[in-house]
Chain A
Amino acid sequence: MVAVSIFSIVSVIVTGALLTAIAINNKAQAIKLAMDNLNYALDSITIKMKRGRAFEFNASNELHFISPKDDPVNPEKAYTYRLDPSGAITMEVGGDTRFITSDKLHIDEFRAFVSNNVSGSSGAFPRAVIIIRGAARVGNQEQKFAVGTTVTERQ
């Protein structure tokens, strides 16, 4: 009786620990996916932006630029990135708006600091520092993040 009781207690504890470990692992993987999604979104912005011109971050917290003439997808088009009220970043081009970040990410702040935005006016390259703050949320787990990158116009 004592042996069976000890065995049962140990079995329940070990099974519980195993299930908890599996659940935590799944959530950690989901958070990693969400963070990868953010990295791709930021890369997507910067790769397009560095080939573009007329950087601007306006009072409505929108990041604008014009794509180059030889852009493979949308030549000479205005790109606008903004923070949607749902907490995702959206991209607008040619009148079409689409989400570029996952619903597992909740972005609190999307900001850019643009300097020398008139190309050649001061001899310095137009430059933008993009800052994104928020949290990746999966179930009751949350990982806060703050990422930033600098984009310089390629001339």
Chain B
Amino acid sequence: MFSNFSFKTRTDLARTPFGGFTLVEMMTVVAIILIMTAILLGNLPNFRDRLSLDAIAQEMAVTIRQAQIFGSATRTSGSQEFPSYGVYFDLSSNNNFIVFADLGTPPNSLYDRLGCAASATECREQFLFSRGVVVTNLCSSTNGNPSSCTPISGGILNVNFRRPLTDAIFYDSANELTPASVIIKIAKASNPTDTRSIVVWGTGHIYVTK
């Protein structure tokens, strides 16, 4: 069997009854396979990072949509019937965001009873990012374009949904904002240039883009 891997020419092999590959052909094929494997293995971590970033961005969009459904429908929270619901982002605590019920009379659209441990707070769910993903930017835009948006001053964003509307209402730490859309950008802390943007329009349209 191994006698086929001697330095024979194809013409020599063609004459024998055991025609096969030459050593040079085999080495070339093995070298190509090794190079392709090395390229694939080298890119695998980046590929996994991009994939996990995409998955987390989609999960965020679904969670914001969940708050939209809770807010525009009739979900009670404790003793308060049908409060508005929202999501809260804070760049100073950028490895998580909060889904909150806007309790209090009258409701103020702000997440202002902080903390997810105590029962008296407005926190209903804390979304913790995995795999080193963080929120890198909170900004507003007139056209939903992530490449030309204006950062929200203070680095705090409340996105609120009040029944019966599906519209999103935006607040910073205290005041209502009136842009057409807000954009939440996420990235891996180790690679902040590769971002995903979750775009929330005032009309209630929520989607993920690059």
**Interface stretch (choices A2-10, A92-100, A107-115, A143-151):** A92-100
Picked from B143, B166, B178, the residue with its CB within 8 Å of the CB of A43 is B166
27 pairs from A and B in contact (CB 8 Å cutoff): A33-B207, A36-B205, A36-B207, A37-B144, A37-B203, A37-B205, A40-B204, A40-B205, A41-B205, A43-B203, A44-B165, A44-B167, A44-B203, A44-B204, A47-B164, A72-B163, A72-B165, A73-B169, A88-B143, A96-B178, A98-B178, A98-B180, A99-B142, A99-B143, A99-B180, A100-B202, A103-B145
A137 at the interface (CB under 8 A from B): no
Q: C-beta contact mask, A27-57 vs B, less than 8 Å → 1, else 0?
A: 0000001001100110110011001000000
Tell me the A90-144 residues at the B interface (CB within 8 Å). 96, 98-100, 102-103
Q: What's the Cα separation between A98 and B169 when bound, in Å?
A: 13
Cβ-closest 10 pairs across A and B: A40-B205, A72-B162, A44-B203, A103-B143, A99-B180, A40-B203, A98-B180, A96-B178, A41-B203, A37-B205
List of A residues within 8 angstroms of B155 by Cβ = none
Number of interface residues of B (CB under 8 A): 22
A110 CA to B205 CA, complexed, in Å: 20
- B201 x A40 contact (CB < 8 A): yes
Q: How far is the CB of A27 from chain B (nearest CB, A)?
A: 13
Residues of A within 8 A of B180 (CB): 98-100
Cα distance A48–B202 in the bound complex, in angstroms: 13
Q: How far is the CA of A98 from the CA of B176 in the complex (A)?
A: 14
Using known A-B contacts A36-B207, A72-B84, determine if residue A51 contacts B164 with beta carbons closer than 8 Å: yes
Interface class of chain B by DSSP: loop
Cβ contacts under 8 Å, B203 to chain A: 37, 40-41, 43-44, 100
Q: How extensive is the interface on chain A, given as a class? A: 10 to 19
Known interface pairs A37-B201, A41-B203; 14 further A-B residue pairs with C-beta atoms within 8 A, sorted by A's residue number: A33-B209, A37-B144, A40-B201, A41-B205, A43-B204, A44-B202, A51-B164, A72-B163, A72-B165, A73-B165, A98-B179, A99-B142, A102-B143, A103-B144
In the complex, chain A residues whose CB is within 8 Å of the CB of B178: 96, 98
Cβ 8 A contact of A44, one of B84, B144, B166: B166
Q: What chain B residues lie within 8 Å of A41 (beta carbons)?
A: 203, 205
- With contacts A33-B207, A36-B207, A73-B167 taken as known, whether A100 is within 8 angstroms of B162 at the C-beta atoms is no
* Chain B 166-210: CB-based contact to A (< 8 A → 1; otherwise 0): 110100000000111000000000000000000001111101010
Q: Residue-by-residue, is A7-36 near B (CB-CB < 8 Å gives 1, otherwise 0)?
A: 000000000000000000000000001001
Min CB gap A87→B, angstroms: 11
| Chain A positions within 8 Å of B162 at CB level | 72-73
List A contacts of B84 (CB < 8 A): 72
In angstroms, how far is the closest chain A Cβ from the Cβ of B3?
Answer: 26
B81 to chain A, nearest CB (A): 14
| Across-interface contacts of B166 in A (CB, < 8 A) | 40, 43-44, 47
